[in-house]
């Protein structure tokens, strides 16, 4: 019927497209980034962080790493609390991404200490053996131009101080990259709300068990050696070659981690594997 009236069909089709466009595109733009969506703890980038963000974009890091955690159980368990629109109010442009050749970085800030990031950027495989990420050690050779940074901050309308600009003297692109990575997700106190606590008394289910020690050795190589060294003599993290915590306290430390970039939590490994790590660290020298 309508196909015999092309003018009316064209008008109806146009109206349907306009309605769909308003619902799927126009209204969301009106709803997001309102005052209700803003998060007071989210602050603009500092000059050093903004320089790092520019290097991140220039080197194409966003082609392999996304920066948004979808509200799916699997993603929240792996990466942390799902992303909110108010987190990206100062992202120009946003770097949500759609591919994950590497892991999502929306919650990377504060997970590791600065030293971890410096080593990882210079030699990714030294920290993540199975990584296919290229080396970026050349970033240590390029210094930041403070005056250019000033112009960028003025163009973006981000607040800055002369002290921040002056502090850029002698800083490298590697310094900026690390500062930017440590910013990601750090404005949201999601780790406190997502933190799980060990309840009740803890007792090692298999102290000095040789099978548990062997299993713990493999876990240590995959999760701990890059910071504490293969022989447990320490590097980024302290030496573990001599036990200095009892079993229960060591379990809690590995489970909880150390906040503010000291050490990530390894609670996701599960209690059985955590006890295997404890056995390897505390009893590997036992006869």
pLDDT over 90 (residue 12): no
- Tens-place pLDDT, residues 133-162: 999 999 999 999 999 999 999 999 999 999
Tokens representing residue 240 in the block? 């573990």
pLDDT cut 90: percent of the chain above it: 64
Position with higher pLDDT, 243 vs 187: 187
Where does the pLDDT of residue 197 fall: very low under 50, low under 70, confident under 90, or very high at 90 and above? confident
The CA distances from residue 197 to 33, 71, 203, 223, 252, in Å, are 34, 23, 16, 21, 9
280 pLDDT band (50/70/90 cuts)? Answer: very high
* Residue 4, pLDDT above cutoff 90: no
Residue 233 — very low, low, confident or very high, per pLDDT cuts 50/70/90? very high
The confidence band for 21, taking pLDDT boundaries of 50, 70 and 90, is: confident
Contacts with 237 (C-beta within 8 Å, 6 or more apart), sequence order: 224, 227, 228, 263
Give the helix, strand, coil percentages of the chain, each rounded to 5: 50, 0, 45
Contact 166, 47 (CB under 8 A): no
pLDDT at 261: 67
**Nearest in space to 261 (alpha carbons), one of 191, 170, 157:** 191
Which pLDDT does position 200 carry in this prediction?
74
pLDDT at residue number 77: 81
Percent of the chain clearing pLDDT 70 (strictly above): 93
Comparing 25 with 186, the larger pLDDT belongs to 186
pLDDT confidence bin for 1, thresholds 50/70/90: low
| pLDDT value at residue 190 | 75
pLDDT bucket at 35, cuts 50 / 70 / 90: low
| Higher local confidence (pLDDT), 162 or 201 | 162
Supply 189's token pair: 């106190």
Other CB atoms closer than 10 Å to residue 142's CB: what's the count?
Answer: 12
Neighbouring-strand partners of residue 258: 263
Beta strands per DSSP E along the chain: none
Instruction: Say how far apart CA 159 and CA 148 lie, in whole Å.
Output: 15
For residue 129, the SS3 value is: coil
The DSSP letter of residue 44 is P
Average pLDDT, the chain: 89
Nearby residues of 33 by Cβ (< 8 Å), 6 or more positions away: 85, 86, 89
Tokens standing for 216? Answer: 């713990």
Q: What is the pLDDT of residue 27?
A: 72
- 91 three-class SS: coil
Average pLDDT over residues 117-124: 96
Separation between Cα atoms, residue 131 and residue 148, nearest integer Å: 34
Going by the DSSP 8-state scheme, the letter that residue 237 receives in this structure is S
Segment 3-14 shows an average pLDDT of: 80
- Partners of 143 in the beta sheet? 172
pLDDT value at 214 more than 70: yes
Instruction: Specify the pLDDT at position 122.
Output: 96
């Amino acid at each position: 019927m309508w196909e015999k009236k092309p003018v009316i069909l064209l008008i109806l089709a146009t109206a349907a497209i306009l309605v769909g466009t308003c619902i799927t595109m126009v209204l969301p733009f009106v709803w997001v980034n309102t005052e209700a969506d803003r998060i007071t703890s989210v602050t603009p980038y500092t000059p050093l962080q903004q320089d790092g963000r520019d290097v991140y974009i220039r080197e194409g890091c966003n082609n392999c790493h996304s920066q948004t955690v979808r509200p799916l159980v699997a993603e929240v368990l792996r990466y942390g609390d799902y992303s909110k629109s108010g987190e990206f109010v100062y992202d120009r442009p946003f770097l949500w991404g759609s591919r994950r050749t590497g892991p999502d970085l929306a919650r990377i800030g504060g997970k590791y200490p600065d030293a971890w990031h410096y080593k990882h950027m210079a030699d990714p495989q030294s920290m993540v053996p199975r990584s296919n990420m290229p080396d970026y050690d050349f970033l240590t050779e390029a210094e930041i131009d403070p005056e250019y940074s000033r112009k960028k901050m003025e163009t973006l309308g981000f607040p800055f101080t002369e002290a921040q600009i002056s502090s850029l003297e002698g800083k490298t692109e590697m310094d900026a990259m690390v500062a930017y990575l440590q910013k990601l997700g750090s404005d949201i106190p999601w780790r406190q709300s997502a933190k799980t606590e060990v309840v009740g008394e803890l007792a090692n289910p298999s102290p000095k068990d040789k099978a548990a020690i062997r299993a713990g050795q493999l876990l240590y190589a995959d999760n701990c050696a890059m910071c504490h060294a293969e022989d447990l003599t320490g590097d980024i993290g302290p030496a573990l070659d001599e036990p200095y915590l009892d079993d229960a306290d060591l379990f809690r430390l590995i489970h909880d981690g150390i906040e503010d970039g000291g050490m990530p939590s390894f609670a996701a490994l599960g209690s059985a594997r955590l006890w295997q790590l404890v056995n390897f660290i505390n009893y590997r020298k036992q006869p």
